Structure 1
């Protein structure tokens, strides 16, 4: 007997069956390997460049996130050991040794590193955190792994196709959100901040003369926006996928050559192949004469409810966190509200100056504090141009004044900032007592 809901029920069953369809897990395992190697490379680079000392141990004070003042670097050699643990976890993830445990260790250790100082925030750190969380949730490490080869886990060469799409969406959201963020007047009408960045690179061989042309920044800005807004579609479409990946490589090699943005271009080149067919690693190896035997596939393993719920939760995070700044009044470029986790990659160039005026209303004493008295130069550069960090620094200045015998002080700031080459403007109201403001995450 047919009911009014029969077509709907049938459609739901069809969609559910389509999402549960078993496909090769090879692309997910390749993503795991690439992710682990990127984590290890990033941590080893951090150690090799001496950043443990200069960024974690050298500062007298850290510009902490609201609610995370208790997070601090481990003392002495412990700080280097902390980063070494991240590197070891990355290698363990790559080879698939106790994969889920290694991902858990990575998440705890890496997030701890991220929370030490908000002035060190980078968008690709947020991407790696979310991708690490997704891989922790998904059943990776059941093929192409030490765990599978030694029998620690039941080998499996297939996963439901929705898991592959979950990984694709995690990588693709970076491009889509970055493209949406580029739809602003500075980027599309002024060609900034690309204009300033390219002008400073006019001495580059072959291409340097192009950077001096008036239209180059605008052309590059529009091309960048078009790339970010459309590349996911080209990667999803099977016919255009190979050429789209070539465009990804060319784009990121260009940005790596022109701008100092760390491992981000290499990360995107290494992670984006997840858009190819799920079996692409096996096909590629066969072409060069390497055959990786597939483990015998038993009945399709059931996906625990917690895995589906956790993956859905990450989808919500990926939608809400990057776009939440639209819920706040004002421009995120100016007030930083909703900036963290927004994946606004290479969109803003800020330069600022700041000094604090401290007053003790009890004694009528007043004195000026330079941020450099309490913070490292790299911290000063950030707090002088970001409102939330300026407020955090004001709280530190107030705490130092209290320690010096001034139990109640007011801290104001004379802070000026230029955004994307525009005329300088005040970062905060100079009459505002920043020490009285509550630090809240936004």
Structure 2
């Protein structure tokens, strides 16, 4: 994988300077998607967003103006092509960013968020911060920031899309994302969203601000979709038949992006609890699951012997942390263990799990039915998710790893 990430770095540089852009952008999108799909436990909203933006950029002629490809084309006998690009490519990128903001706000329309959870719990952990610690730890602060975040997310796309409200939207987006970067460990996401503000500015601003970088091009007046080059005349209007396919693809893409985040309404239960429909839906920083008990057990059907699985032998630290909160990943592990057992001994074992968790400071309860054979369940089945109900004898919030050490032994028949 080292070479893979080295290739991503090189391809990113080529795209940034616009050299062999078409090939570089397509390869970069593919390379990022491979990383994204390697491990379910590594799912991150910002990596998903980067893959989507990579796809849109690979389809866009983003190398037409300020790029090394442009310099190479100027030396060609036929001369350089037009410096403008069809507006639908810019619209697609802007719409994608607006969708992220809007659905991030829609996801916050739930009882826990409106009462300030889990933000209040997280801010309480910052209570020892200099000067602002007591303010952050106050419950009213968590509620106020929760409501503010909801309103910002719901309105941001509309503010950025309109020229008159763009300055206000940009200022709010800058403050909002910088605050997220300071308070939470969410990787590159705030910086990607800050960088995306350039998409919503007047497309002619580079020519007006940096005319020396665009020799021979007349500054565009007003708020056109792109600056008009002085020579070359720009692209000829595309025939209606040729416009039909790009427009159809764009509409199809946006329809998928609008519908996929809503799919959790088709599934029973609370998406924050059972995680069904959580991914690809821009549900960000909405839940805090504390696990007080975690165990996966393998029963040999030939002997009836039941042994606890040493999860640290089967999973990485990241996978373990994700699995204890996601029922579908428990099923994945159960199938993997059962397959290994069956390959070795010709009989499929029974695999159960005891996971006691709390959502956003609520009561502790079973995450999955502890009597259910997970290895016999189709992947994605939601019937095994135990409905809400407090579990007696499960109190406190012990570290997950504490339950994995001391006495837990791997089932001997499983290689």
Q: What TM-score do you get using the length of structure 2 for normalisation?
A: 0.82
- Post-superposition offset of 1:381: 1.1
Distance 1:109 1:374, change over 3 A: same
Which of 315, 326, 335 is the aligned partner of 2:265? 326
Aligned mates of 1:293, 1:437 — CA distance in 2: 66
Which of 197, 218, 224 is the aligned partner of 1:272? 197
For residues 174-193 of structure 1, the C-alpha deviation after alignment (integer angstroms, 9 at most, x for no partner) is: 1000000000000002x011
Aligned mates of 1:92, 1:314 — CA distance in 2: 26
Distance 1:433 1:168, change over 3 A: same
Please tell me whether residue 253 in structure 1 is matched to residue 175 in structure 2: no
Which of 143, 164, 182 is the aligned partner of 2:65? 143
Which of 122, 136, 149 is the aligned partner of 1:211? 136
Matched residue pairs, number? 361
For residues 143-196 of structure 1, the C-alpha deviation after alignment (integer angstroms, 9 at most, x for no partner) is: 11111210189532223333322221011111000000000000002x011011
Is the 8 Å Cα contact of residues 119 and 382 (structure 1) preserved in structure 2? yes
CA RMSD of aligned residues (A): 2.1
Which of 314, 317, 321 is the aligned partner of 2:253? 314
Please tell me whether residue 106 in structure 1 is matched to residue 34 in structure 2: no
Secondary structure of 2:85's counterpart equals strand
- Post-superposition offset of 1:291: 5.0
Is the 8 Å Cα contact of residues 134 and 314 (structure 1) preserved in structure 2? no
Please tell me whether residue 181 in structure 1 is matched to residue 107 in structure 2: yes
- Post-superposition offset of 1:88: 1.5
Is the 8 Å Cα contact of residues 362 and 408 (structure 1) preserved in structure 2? no
State the match for 1:300 in structure 2: 236
Please tell me whether residue 86 in structure 1 is matched to residue 26 in structure 2: no
Which of 133, 140, 149 is the aligned partner of 1:224? 149
Aligned mates of 2:346, 2:295 — CA distance in 1: 19
Distance 1:210 1:366, change over 3 A: same
Is the 8 Å Cα contact of residues 360 and 406 (structure 1) preserved in structure 2? no
Answer 1 or 2: which has greater helix percent: 1
The unaligned stretches of length 5 or more in structure 2 are 218-228, 383-415
Distance 1:209 1:340, change over 3 A: same
Aligned mates of 2:381, 2:26 — CA distance in 1: 25
Distance 1:331 1:94, change over 3 A: same
Higher radius of gyration, 1 or 2:
2
State the match for 1:346 in structure 2: 285
Is the 8 Å Cα contact of residues 137 and 311 (structure 1) preserved in structure 2? no
Please tell me whether residue 376 in structure 1 is matched to residue 376 in structure 2: no
Distance 1:290 1:100, change over 3 A: closer
Which of 390, 393, 405 is the aligned partner of 2:330? 390
4+ residue segments displaced more than 6 Å: none
Where relative contact order (Cα < 8 A, 6+ residues apart) is larger, the structure is: 1
Aligned mates of 1:92, 1:379 — CA distance in 2: 33
Is the 8 Å Cα contact of residues 351 and 381 (structure 1) preserved in structure 2? no
State the match for 1:421 in structure 2: 361
Is the 8 Å Cα contact of residues 62 and 85 (structure 2) preserved in structure 1? no
- Post-superposition offset of 1:441: 9.5
Aligned mates of 1:119, 1:274 — CA distance in 2: 31
